[in-house]
Amino acid sequence: MTVKASNDWIQQLYVQETLKKSPEPDFYENENGKIVMTKSYHIKRGSCCGSKCLNCPYEPKYVKGNKIVENH
C-alpha cells in the first residue's frame, strides 16, 4: 500500500503497519484515494507533524512538534 498523505516516512510506516494489524484503524481512505488520519490518531501520535493534516487537533495548527490539543 502506498501512503500519499505525508512525506514523513516514519508516519507512513506506522500507517502501513497499523492498517495491517487493526480492524478499526485510525485512518480512512477519502474519495480521492488518499489516506486521512483521524483526530484520535493525531492525539495518540503525541505531536503535530506539520503536514497540514485535515483533522489536526493541535492549536495553533500545523506547527511541527506542537503538543497543545485544542479545546473543543
By the 10 Å C-beta count (0-12 exposed, 13-18 middle, 19+ buried), 53 is classed as buried
Query: How far apart are the C-alpha atoms of 19 and 67, rounded to whole Å?
Result: 24
Q: Tell me the domain boundaries of the chain.
A: 1-72
* pLDDT, tens digit, 9 for 90 and up, residues 5-18: 555 777 777 777 76
Question: Taking the model in full, what pTM does it have?
Answer: 0.60
Query: How far apart are the C-alpha atoms of 60 and 67, rounded to whole Å?
Result: 10
Query: How far apart are the C-alpha atoms of 34 and 38, rounded to whole Å?
Result: 13
* pLDDT, tens digit, 9 for 90 and up, residues 15-70: 777 666 655 678 888 898 888 888 888 888 899 999 999 999 999 999 999 999 98
Residue 19 in grid coordinates: 492498517
